[in-house]
Amino acid sequence: MLHFSNDLALVVVAIVLATLGGEFFLKGVLRAADGLRVPKLLVATTLAACATSAPELTVSTVAALAGQPEIGLGDALGSNVVNIGLIFGLALLFGPIKVARGELGRDFPLALFAPLLTLGLAADGVLSRGEGGLLLVIFAAWVTASIRAGLHHREVIGNSTAPSRLGWTLVLTMGGLIALVTAGRLFVMGATGIAMNLGVDTYVIGATIVAVGTSLPELVTVVLARRRGHDEVGVGTLIGSNLFNGLAIVGTAASIHPVHVSLAEISVALVMGMTALSLLMPNHAGTIGRLRGLVLLVAYSVFVMVTLAVGGYTGP
């Protein structure tokens, strides 16, 4: 009972810390966009997305160095489904989201292409170091293109926006990010302890709790962005995070250590990830409706059930 109480306390602390960290991180992102004089969507897709994917990068790198890159692969691919299916699904329950199709630019097609490429590379049952390197090269090209787009935007608008104080912006952003990452780790520790006390299988813990825990920064950022009226930040963070997970994190894991994969297991995550992502495309009026939120939540539920079935889990 004592262990259960301690684990529950960790979860509560994680939620409080995530809320506070999310507030600081979102303010930092918005100030960074103003200071750099670039669109908020661009900052969210690149800087914010890469930052909130730090937990997945840590898990992937540590696991690969330990000779178990499959853990990082599963976390990265599972987090992508969590990002769109669960997080964006919940965000849409607050109401429709306005995002112009043109604002998604090259990011959306690449986010759809990355899972297809990964599926093709893994068709032989192995993601080699060379294939991991290819994913990293594509990621680097995307980042370079995003930076060039930001510089072009600065040239177009000139000095019309006063830059924010860099020091305070860094304090807000880094302080918020550290709090978010710490909250994610505490959440995983506490929720894992609770699940083990309840007799839940370790595979189930990894497929659900770990993926949700490492996606906690994205969850808090998106929900707070919605409440503050910055929908473009939420959408950009999720799409950018999916690109970071699918290209940089999977590429890093495979580059460190070849990844032996079960095509049946990763196919579930990749196909469901692409299906959920396709539901993010706004209609011609530039709106993503609330009904899609329900569809995404159903899709996430199906993903969890199918993943457990493929993994052979039959219950406690």
Strand ranges (E), the chain: 97-98, 126-127, 259-260, 287-288
- pLDDT class of 114 with cuts at 50, 70, 90: very high
Say what the pLDDT of residue 207 is.
59
267 lies in some domain:
yes
Q: Which residue has the higher pLDDT, 208 or 309?
A: 309
**Cβ contacts of 234 within 8 Å, gap of 6 or more:** 44, 88, 91, 97, 221, 222, 223, 225, 226
- pLDDT class of 265 with cuts at 50, 70, 90: confident
Rounded-to-integer distance, Cα 167 and Cα 148, Å: 24
**Range of the structural domain that residue 255 is part of:** 44-159+201-310
Mean pLDDT, range 4-20, rounded to an integer? 76
Distances (CA, A) of 51 to 18, 40, 169, 173, 176: 14, 15, 14, 9, 10
6 lies in some domain:
no
Rounded-to-integer distance, Cα 237 and Cα 266, Å: 23
Closest by CA position to 251, among listed 107, 110, 61: 61
Rounded-to-integer distance, Cα 273 and Cα 300, Å: 9
For the chain, counts of helices (H) and of strands (E):
17, 4
Structure tokens at 199: 């007799």
Rounded-to-integer distance, Cα 279 and Cα 51, Å: 24
Say what the pLDDT of residue 294 is.
92
Question: Cβ distance 21 to 172 under 8 Å?
Answer: no
3 lies in some domain:
no
Point out the least confidently predicted range of 30-34, 114-118, 257-261, 266-270. Answer: 30-34
Say what the pLDDT of residue 139 is.
93
Rounded-to-integer distance, Cα 263 and Cα 169, Å: 43
Say what the pLDDT of residue 230 is.
78
Closest by CA position to 193, among listed 175, 209, 216, 214: 209
- pLDDT class of 213 with cuts at 50, 70, 90: confident
Question: Cβ distance 252 to 57 under 8 Å?
Answer: yes
Say what the pLDDT of residue 275 is.
87
Question: Cβ distance 15 to 183 under 8 Å?
Answer: yes
207 lies in some domain:
yes
209 lies in some domain:
yes
8 lies in some domain:
no
167 lies in some domain:
no
Say what the pLDDT of residue 303 is.
83
- pLDDT class of 161 with cuts at 50, 70, 90: very low
Structure tokens at 100: 């112009």
pLDDT tens per residue, range 232-252: 777 888 888 889 889 998 999
- pLDDT class of 316 with cuts at 50, 70, 90: low
- pLDDT class of 141 with cuts at 50, 70, 90: very high
Q: Is the pLDDT of residue 160 over 90?
A: no
Write down the residue that tokens 């178990």 correspond to. 68
Report percent pLDDT > 90 for the chain.
14
The count of domains in the chain is 1
- pLDDT class of 94 with cuts at 50, 70, 90: confident
pLDDT tens per residue, range 40-79: 677 777 777 777 777 777 777 877 887 877 777 877 888 8
CATH number at residue 240: 1.20.1420.30
Q: How wide is the angle at C-alpha 138 spanned by C-alphas 132 and 140, nearest 5°?
A: 100
Question: Cβ distance 56 to 249 under 8 Å?
Answer: yes
Distances (CA, A) of 171 to 32, 235, 283, 302: 11, 24, 38, 40
Report percent pLDDT > 70 for the chain.
83
Mean pLDDT, range 106-125, rounded to an integer? 90
Say what the pLDDT of residue 128 is.
94
Residue 284's CB: how many other CB atoms inside 10 A?
6
177 lies in some domain:
no
Distances (CA, A) of 213 to 15, 60, 122, 217: 11, 14, 26, 8
